[in-house]
Amino acid sequence: MDAEPLYHRAEQVYATLAALAAERPGVVVPFEVGRSVQDRPILGYRLVDPATPPRGSMLVFANIHAMEWVPTEVALSFAVDFARFPEPGVELVVIPSLNVDGRARVEGDLAEGRNVYRRGNANNVDLNRDFGVNREARAIWKAIIPRRYAVSPGPLSQPESQALDRLASAEQFDVAVSLHAFGGFFYYPWAGLWARAPHHAELQRLGELMQAAMSSHPYRPRQLSRWAFFFRGHGMEIDHLYGEHGALSFLVETTRSGYEKISDLGVKFRMYNPRDPRPHAAEGVRYLRALAHEVAQGRARGVAR
Ligand SMILES: [Zn+2]
């Protein structure tokens, strides 16, 4: 039997969503967001209640880091839930996996029983240091803790980040959510600057709204650069989606790590992913639904609108 039986493989994720699209035509529409370094399609799904004209739009994407699989389970559960009960007035785009090559490598590792740490894409670039806004390390700390400040070779150097940028540029989303693991936070911009974002109060409010929607051990909202005094994340997706494309953006660190017992400690996959992702996926549906509802009510508007 394959390792990690409670996690969908990519093929199963896309089969589930293809079945949903066939069952609910006009509600779920698949499209290709772009292609990866190894020419795999990066698939997106547009979900909408066809009876209500869209008043706002929301992007949810997952698995920018190869080994973070709980996020894909969250994105899939939310897409399934939204397809059954679309939030009237919200156009939702879900990308279950942005780093499709990285994910395929991890699938291979699990199938072969290899215990390898994976984060980047097929070029071993950390896609979440590959965006354009706030790439420059200004703090003196970069000389002291350089690893914390590493960025990719140039802005949007990889096809996966280019695909996301093109989509965000075309759609001008009101809100955007990038699903990661682990930590238990609703992070918002800036990631690369200590300064408060112009929409700080609004971002904090939406973070608290998602926090309140969770049923147990709710995640906490926080500006990402204030995770710790020495930390800055340069070239990150949330700064780019907000600073470049005007979306009120969140990086959700799902779970508080997957380590549940001593024997888990050596397992790289387990660091991000608990044995059973289903309770985390169910929580994800709650906080994403709360955010979608806010968009539907016109209470979460992108900066570009
Ligand atoms: Zn991550």
What residues contact residue 138 under an 8 Å CB cut-off, 6+ apart? 193, 232
Residues that place a CB less than 5 A from ion ligand 1: 65, 68, 180
How many other C-beta atoms lie within 10 A of the C-beta of residue 295?
26
Cβ–Cβ under 8 Å, residues 85 and 47: no
Helix (H/G/I), strand (E/B), else coil: 60 = strand
Find the 22 Cα to ligand 1 centroid distance in Å. 32
250, containing H or E segment: strand 248-254
CATH of region 10-296: 3.40.630.10
What parts of the chain have a pLDDT lower than 50? none
Find the 111 Cα to ligand 1 centroid distance in Å. 22
Kindly report whether the global pTM for this prediction surpasses the value 0.75.
yes
Compute the distance between CA of residue 167 and CA of residue 31 in angstroms, rounded to an integer. Answer: 11
The b-or-e profile of 107-117 (16+ CB within 10 A means b, else e) is bebbeeeeeee
pLDDT at 14: 98
Compute the distance between CA of residue 208 and CA of residue 154 in angstroms, rounded to an integer. Answer: 34
Find the 238 Cα to ligand 1 centroid distance in Å. 12
Q: Name the pairing type of β-strands 56-62 and 90-95.
A: parallel
pLDDT at 292: 98
Find the 126 Cα to ligand 1 centroid distance in Å. 9
- For residue 129, give the DSSP letter: G
Residue in this structure with the two tokens 């926080």, named with its chain if needed: 222
Q: How far is CA 227 from the centre of its chain?
A: 18
Compute the distance between CA of residue 289 and CA of residue 130 in angstroms, rounded to an integer. Answer: 29
Nearest to 99 by CA among 70, 129, 132, 127: 127
Find the 50 Cα to ligand 1 centroid distance in Å. 34
Angle at alpha carbon of residue 3, lines to 180 and 281, rounded to 5°: 35
